[in-house]
Amino acid sequence: MGETKELKKKLTPARDCTTCEATAQMIDKARRDGVELVFDRAASMKPCPIGADSACCKHCSMGPCRLNAKDPYGKVGVCGATIDTIQARNFARMVASGAAAHTDHGMSILHLFGEVVKGHNKDYQIKDIQKLLQVAETLEIETDGREYNDIGLDIYEELMKTYTLVEGEFPFAKAVPEKTLETWRKQGIVPRGAMREIMEIMHRTHMGVDQDYENIVNQCSRTALSDGWGGSMVATEISDIMFGTPRPVMAEVNMGVLKEDHVNIIVHGHEPNLFESIMVSTSDATMVEAAKAAGAKGINLVGMCCSGAEMMSRHGVPHAGNFMSTEAVLVTGAVDAMAVDVQCIKQGLGKVADCYGTELFTTNPRCHIEGVKHIEFDEDNPMACTDEVVIKAISRFKSRKGDIQIPKNKNIGIHGFSKEYIGYMLGGTFRESYVPLNENIINGRIRGVAGVVGCTQPRTKQDYMHVELVKELIKNDVLVLQTGCSQIALAKAGLLIPEAAHLAGDGLAEVCETVGMPPILGLGSCVDNSRILTAASEMVRTGGLGHSIADLPAAGAAPEWMSEKAISIGHYFVASGVYTVFGTTFPITEGTKFHKHLFEELEEMGMGKWGFSNDPIEMAHMMIAHIDKKRKQLGIDKARERVLMDMADRQKLDVA
Ligand code: BF8
Ligand code: SF4
């Protein structure tokens, strides 16, 4: 009780923690129940100011060494390491960890695919033949007259090099626009296998190895690219082949998707195979009968975070919320079981689940949590795990205690866009084409394209930056592509619908109304950021917008980022040629050479660059200014001035 009082003193009011009303209600309820959530832990844990500036090093036991961010060159570490070396090494290790997460995920999916095409695993199949052939074509694998499994086996063997290649260029180099690839070759950053790149980064950041920040950043770029164009792209493409390429689908988002009279099961994590299998278990007639026998009307399967976003995109599975809501959703008391796999799984879930009687299970050998029951998910016998989760959920439903309070909030949106679907939608049903998209950018109806992605976190009001940033971008005719927790934030704000076009500028609104698409397109999970890369490549290949990704009137943002994966994603966008702006905090000391290198010099080397702002409107205008700079360089800035006044053009589009 004393502890609860102590907690109350420092508590941030719920509606200052989040703009998500459902989450705010659950914060209030948790406080009434005396249960601590991530928001409260953040209030009582001030970020370490030295760490926040990345001015400390603990890479050896002569330290830890702390430099002074206010006088960055006043001191060096015991070994003589400068602030630039220390920051670059810290940054590099974030890239390595983030890239490791995505590439390990991709490698698992690829391994499963290998087992399927070799006929060893019958629980999963090739579902999307068109995607299989398309990936084969990209990799220059012969398809004519061949069995699909044989083509699949070649794809498997070729793509395994994404991870294992010791020397040479990784397989999806073939998907990169030529001029972008040329820049990478010039800088020596075309990735080999991700395992090699991550190993090298860990070596180079060991005490007494690479002590030139520019050289370290080069290896950051190479490693990050092995994630975006490597591990993540493999995860997306192979998941599409096995589970189907997403097409637009209506889905409900927010805690209102929970049903008091159903057995509610949440899957939270990142790997689609667990989720795909649990879908089979929950729709099994025996399980549904068992749920009914326990007094429920049925089983309600719901996603959270990234695998949730992926399932929502592929199958329209309802989604209960993003990273900042994973503990809060348990406070409803309505979640009978939550199964987690890997990444962004807060250890704090264990305590909250205990307080509300939710059955919490870890399922992946890589992610156990002390005190939480582990039911291992084995792809060779997937139902053993997923059936058990469902059975446990049903018995928890039967013995539910305590009050249940489900916020009513839910929004319907359209999800499930993909690089392919954007082409079909704009270019015609039978053959994808990016010509209309490029034309609308050239004529200025669409000013440019922005990727707005990434996490939510308690150091900033949940969802606020995402929603305000995206609204400002579409208002200024910038088409927005989204993934991950950011997509969920906008979905909860009710903006992933074609009617959101009324918030867009005239030009973008015209295009959206003509095609019937929302001005904000949700592409799925964080590994699906690779869809933004393939869409950008298609824009370059289609022509009229320059020759490399760096030429495109495009920008990226992760305004509420928190994870090392976000740093890897940000850096692969930068290395690919995209101006990428982060918010909330950035692990760097301003006024250092390292800062200048990331925020200015990389662009001069033909890549993109980093940016930072804590204000969503300012962030939007930094991105828009960059888009306008690119339009000017492409000589299409005049077209934009004309479109704003040209009614004849508008009528032409209406009759088209
Ligand atoms: O990979 S956006 S909080 S859930 S890290 Fe995590 Fe960030 Fe969400 Fe998915 Ni991505
Ligand atoms: Fe200090 Fe250098 Fe050791 Fe880092 S590597 S802890 S800067 S002595």
Q: Report CA torsion sign: 142, 146, 151, 157.
A: negative
Among the CATH numbers 1.20.1270.30, 3.40.50.300, 3.20.20.370, 1.10.540.10, which is that of 83-243? 1.20.1270.30
In whole angstroms, give the CA distance from residue 190 to residue 106.
Answer: 19
Instruction: Say whether pLDDT at 653 is over 80.
Output: no
Nearest ligand 2 atom to alpha carbon 80: 2
pLDDT in tens, 505-519: 999 999 999 999 999
Prediction pTM value: 0.96
| Mutation choice for ligand 1 from 95, 232, 485, CB with most ligand atoms inside 8 A | 485
pLDDT in tens, 438-474: 999 999 999 999 999 999 999 999 999 999 999 999 9
pLDDT in tens, 196-227: 999 999 999 999 999 999 999 999 999 999 99
In whole angstroms, give the CA distance from residue 282 to residue 45.
Answer: 40
In whole angstroms, give the CA distance from residue 319 to residue 306.
Answer: 10
Does CATH number 3.40.50.2030 belong to domain 416-634?
yes
Going by CA atoms, what residue is nearest to atom 7 of ligand 1?
A: 455
For strand 411-415 and strand 373-374, is the pairing parallel, antiparallel, or unpaired? unpaired
Ligand 2: residues whose CB is within 6 Å?
57-60, 62-65, 77-79, 81, 86, 207
pLDDT reported for residue 430:
64
Going by CA atoms, what residue is nearest to atom 10 of ligand 1?
A: 526
For strand 65-66 and strand 56-57, is the pairing parallel, antiparallel, or unpaired? antiparallel
In whole angstroms, give the CA distance from residue 140 to residue 79.
Answer: 49
In whole angstroms, give the CA distance from residue 249 to residue 518.
Answer: 12
In whole angstroms, give the CA distance from residue 15 to residue 462.
Answer: 9
Give the residue from 105, 15, 136, 17 showing the smallest Cα distance to 526.
105
With a 6 Å cutoff on the Cβ, whether 470 touches ligand 1 is no
Going by CA atoms, what residue is nearest to atom 6 of ligand 1?
A: 344
Please determine whether the domains at 249-399 and 416-634 fall in the same fold group of CATH. yes
| Mutation choice for ligand 2 from 66, 75, 79, 210, CB with most ligand atoms inside 8 A | 79
pLDDT reported for residue 26:
98
Tokens matching residue 127: 């579902």
Task: Say which ligand is closest to the CA of 38.
Answer: 1
Q: In three state form, how does the secondary structure of 59-112 look?
A: CCCCCCEECCCCCCCCCCCCCCCCHHHHHHHHHHHHHHHHHHHHHHHHHHHHHH
Average pLDDT of the segment spanning 136-160: 98
pLDDT reported for residue 456:
98
pLDDT reported for residue 402:
81
Average pLDDT of the segment spanning 522-548: 97
With a 6 Å cutoff on the Cβ, whether 589 touches ligand 1 is no
pLDDT in tens, 89-120: 999 999 999 999 999 999 999 999 999 999 99
Instruction: Say whether pLDDT at 264 is over 50.
Output: yes
**CA 52 to chain centroid:** 23
With a 6 Å cutoff on the Cβ, whether 269 touches ligand 1 is no
Distance from the alpha carbon of residue 600 to the mean position of ligand 2, in angstroms = 27
Give the residue from 20, 12, 16 showing the smallest Cα distance to 40.
12
For strand 579-582 and strand 610-612, is the pairing parallel, antiparallel, or unpaired? parallel
Q: Which residues pair with 482 in a beta bridge?
A: 452, 522
Which residue positions form the known binding site? 48, 56-57, 60, 65, 79, 270, 306, 344, 455, 485, 526
pLDDT in tens, 2-26: 445 555 557 899 999 999 999 999 9
pLDDT reported for residue 656:
41
In whole angstroms, give the CA distance from residue 87 to residue 592.
Answer: 9
In whole angstroms, give the CA distance from residue 59 to residue 191.
Answer: 25
In whole angstroms, give the CA distance from residue 338 to residue 329.
Answer: 10
Distance from the alpha carbon of residue 326 to the mean position of ligand 1, in angstroms = 12
pLDDT in tens, 605-632: 999 999 999 999 999 999 999 999 999 9
Domain ranges of the chain: 14-44, 83-243, 249-399, 416-634
| More confident call, 9 vs 163 | 163
Please, which pLDDT band fits residue 138 given cuts at 50, 70 and 90?
very high
* Residue linked to tokens 């601590």: 36
Average pLDDT of the segment spanning 540-550: 97
Q: Which helix (H) or strand (E) holds 123?
A: none
Q: What are phi and psi of 295, to 5 degrees?
A: 100, 5
In whole angstroms, give the CA distance from residue 301 to residue 338.
Answer: 10
CATH placement of domain 249-399: 3.40.50.2030
Going by CA atoms, what residue is nearest to atom 6 of ligand 2?
A: 63
With a 6 Å cutoff on the Cβ, whether 323 touches ligand 1 is yes
Nearest ligand 1 atom to alpha carbon 565: 5
pLDDT in tens, 357-372: 999 999 999 999 999 9
pLDDT in tens, 370-408: 999 999 999 999 999 999 999 999 999 999 988 999 999
What mean pLDDT value characterizes the chain? 95
